[in-house]
Amino acid sequence: MDNRQLKKTRMLNYDADSIKNLISERKWNDLDEFQKIGAVYDFVRNEILFGYNRSDLLTAEEVLADGYGQCNTKATLLMALLRAVGIPCRLHGSEVDKHFQEGVTSGLISALAPATIVHTWAEIFYKGDWIALEGVITDERYIKGIKNKYKNVKGPFARYAVSVKELSTLSLEWQGGDIFVQNESVVKDFGVYYDPDTFFMDHPQTWSKIKNIAYVHYGRKKMNRTVKEIRFREKWDRNIQREFE
């Protein structure tokens, strides 16, 4: 196994006190390999809620402090925690079509976004294979809200930051194999990297400073309010399937 798959970097700063304290409190190092992966994955998926951070370049410590994250920032935190407990991991980079975010994005926000968005997920080396943990992005309460909203929809689904072949049967629990939640909207594959630091040097998100300011101070806040509404709202329009007609 390549030592670079366990290495600390600026973004994967698992020597930060907050991360070391978390691992100690949860006693993750006392678990076997399967349990370690599951415990870390479940923490990042469900206790770090799905939401949009101010930057893709946050360190793992900063994502933990935010308490929420999206694909790129959750991948950073997940990788840092996995490496801290001795699980080799790497980053898989890609671009996704922006349209699967519709519902979370709309109007001006959607118009400002580039046609494709940089997208990453963590992969672990487990039992001789590389396993994708992309499912860490969306927390279970959010997924339940989406399923409730679209309970009559069958077949491919690509809305509200979820892009899968079948929503109704979607399970994001760790069971030892690949877990995906957005990969059906991948339009370009950048391959694998040892760390997010290197990946984002090669593939920065490309938009103007003005658009970035608009996203940080307006767009993402509106998107996070929408995500929160989905997570906690109990009833949805019974005719929601019309969106797919």
Q: Which residues contact 94 (CB under 8 A, 6 or more apart)?
A: 118, 119, 120, 186, 187, 188, 189, 190
pLDDT of res. 136: 98
The domains located in the chain, with CATH, are: 3-244 (3.10.620.30)
**pTM of the predicted model as reported, rounded to 2 decimal places:** 0.91
List beta partners, residue 191: 93
The token pair that represents 218 in the structure block: 């307006």
pLDDT per residue of the chain (245 residues) written in tens, 0 to 9:
688 999 999 999 999 999 999 999 999 999 999 999 999 999 999 999 999 999 999 999 999 999 999 999 999 999 999 999 999 999 999 999 999 999 898 665 666 777 889 999 999 999 999 999 999 999 999 999 999 999 889 999 999 999 999 999 999 999 999 999 999 999 999 999 999 999 999 998 776 676 667 776 667 888 899 999 998 764 444 443 333 32
pLDDT of res. 110: 65
Q: What gap in Å lies between CA 164 and CA 166, rounded to an integer?
A: 6
Q: Helix/strand/coil (H, E, C) string of the chain?
A: CCHHHCCCCCCCCCCCHHHHHHHHHHCHHHCCHHHHHHHHHHHHHHHCEECCCCCCCCCHHHHHHHCEECHHHHHHHHHHHHHHCCCCEEEEEEEEEHHHHECCECHHHHHHCCCEEEEEEEEEEECCEEEEEHHHHCCHHHHHHHHHHCCCCCCCEEECCEEECCCCCCCCCCCCCCECCCHHHEEEEEEEECCHHHHHHHCCCCCCHHHHHHHHHHHHHHHHHHHHHHHHCCCCCCCHHHHHC
pLDDT of res. 214: 72
Cβ contact 124:179 at 8 Å:
no
pLDDT of res. 234: 46
pLDDT of res. 219: 78
First-to-last alpha carbon distance for the chain, in angstroms, is 50
Name which of 197, 214, 182, 198 is nearest 71 in CA terms: 182
Dihedral of CA atoms 227, 229, 230, 235 in degrees, nearest 10, equals -170
